[in-house]
Structure 1
């Protein structure tokens, strides 16, 4: 009997850990996107600060970031071209997950200006050209 009660308690705890409402899944996906977007803004601001003396680079970076945001939005439209209602109740999660993926990729692309390139890299361009 003790074994059955322990199994039932364990099953209840596990099932509650995995059971989520659609609203909870939407919230979780949106939070992940907000976190990725916050990381993007932090990396971008660090670059603006670190490279403040390199006006040409910063002008080009700002242009690139504006274009990336247009690209991101176009990618989402390409991925989900129909009205949201056509994708069902999972659409908010799917859209937020895709935005998170695209934003995370951009964060990694920008981190090179913060972290630098591996030693011996010859094609550094503006990476490290803080002045």
Structure 2
């Protein structure tokens, strides 16, 4: 009997967890994107701090980040070329989910510069070149 009650409670909790309005799903997706963007900014600022002595690198990092933002925005337009109205009420969620995915990809790319430099890796370029 105990296991039946526990199972019933778990099922009820899972059903209420899925019973969300589209507005709630849109808000959650937007929140997830804001968190990813915040993480990206944290990683970016850590790189700027760690490589402060390497002015040439920082110039190129800033240029690359500006271009990445343009690429990100163009990819969103490519993914959703029609007006928001065309996609309906799920559009804010879908757009935020895609922005989150692209942002996580960028975070992983930038984290490379926070990794320790491996001696003997002649193709690592600026990775680890903090001065």
TM-score (norm 2): 0.89
Equivalent residue for 1:116?
116
| Residue 68 of structure 1, CA deviation | 0.3
| Residue 3 of structure 1, CA deviation | 9.0
Equivalent residue for 1:16?
16
| Residue 5 of structure 1, CA deviation | 7.2
Equivalent residue for 1:74?
74
The aligned length equals 131
Closer, same or farther in 2 for the Cα pair 1:129/1:90, shift >3 Å? same
Q: Distance in 2 between matches of 1:2 and 1:128?
A: 58
Equivalent residue for 2:26?
26
Deviates more, 1:120-129 or 1:74-83: 120-129
Deviates more, 1:110-119 or 1:29-38: 110-119
Q: Distance in 1 between matches of 2:4 and 2:50?
A: 62
Q: Distance in 1 between matches of 2:30 and 2:75?
A: 18
Closer, same or farther in 2 for the Cα pair 1:55/1:21, shift >3 Å? same
Q: Distance in 2 between matches of 1:104 and 1:62?
A: 18
TM-score (norm 1): 0.89
Closer, same or farther in 2 for the Cα pair 1:16/1:53, shift >3 Å? same
Closer, same or farther in 2 for the Cα pair 1:10/1:111, shift >3 Å? closer
Equivalent residue for 1:43?
43
Unaligned 5+ runs, structure 2 = none
- Over the aligned positions, Cα root-mean-square deviation in angstroms equals 2.1
Note the alpha carbon deviations across 1:6-29, whole angstroms, 9 max, x for none.
Answer: 766554332111111111101110
